[in-house]
Amino acid sequence: MSGLRTSEEVDVQVRNRGQVLDEAEAYARRKVLVVISQVSEPVLSARVKLTQAANASAARPATAQAVVDVNGRPVRAHVAATTMFEAVDLLQERLTARIARARRYRARGSRGGGPDDRTWRDGSGHEHRPHRQHLPAEERRVIRHKSFSLTRQTPQDAVIDLEAMDHDFWLFTDLASGHDSVVYRDAVGGRHRMASLGTTGRQRDFEVR
């Protein structure tokens, strides 16, 4: 008997912030279920967050985020658009692409290789990522706290986690040097870069091979 959960068996949890239409919530659930139905590995959970900005003058006031646990490894996608339905459509495309890249990486890893940069790097779709809102210092405030322990891993694995989680940077402890480090995506060139404590602030570019 197969251990896979079908799309009908996965409870896609959707939560909203702002004035999100009920139709958009149901639409997001259906779209994520379509993505899940194409995954050959066990899908343990799926969470979606839809946010409608209160500022009507924002260029892309609708954002959609999804985190899908694929056999114990979370895959995340985050997009912004002018309408919530457009955001959900973009979310489906981006989530599908990220799950596919993670699957290709694991297939290469089982043969002793790594993901090649042409396949792994997501050069498309970054124009749909939410932009940070730059506020004056006196208007900034802490809205939530997070605490976590840094994973000991190689820079290549850190980049893989960065891309799978759709983040701009990823904190980790370098497995070889033991230094607390960060990998991030260069906003200008789109390349991955790394900086570590204990290395006089030097940074370096590298490819994921």
| pLDDT tens digits, 57-96 | 677 889 999 999 998 888 999 999 999 999 999 999 999 9
**H helices, E strands: number in the chain:** 4, 9
10/146 Cα distance (integer angstroms): 27
- Tokens found for residue 186: 């260069």
Domain count, the chain: 2
128/80 Cα distance (integer angstroms): 5
pLDDT digits (tens, 9 = 90+) for 10-58: 899 999 999 999 999 999 999 999 999 999 889 999 999 999 987 766 7
Overall pTM > 0.85: no
In a domain, 187, yes or no: yes
- Tokens found for residue 183: 């990998």
Structure letter (DSSP) for residue 198? T
Same domain, 155 and 52: no
In a domain, 134, yes or no: no
Name the packing angle between helices 155-164 and 84-109 (round to 10°): 150
pLDDT at res. 130: 58
pLDDT at res. 121: 43
Domain that holds residue 179: 143-205
Which of these three, 99, 128, 157, is where a domain ends?
128
CATH number at residue 182: 3.30.505.50
Q: Of 102, 98, 124, 128, whose CA–CA distance to 115 is shortest?
A: 102
| Greater pLDDT, 33 or 159 | 33
pLDDT at res. 110: 42
Same domain, 82 and 172: no
pLDDT digits (tens, 9 = 90+) for 105-153: 666 544 434 444 433 344 444 555 555 556 677 777 776 666 667 788 8
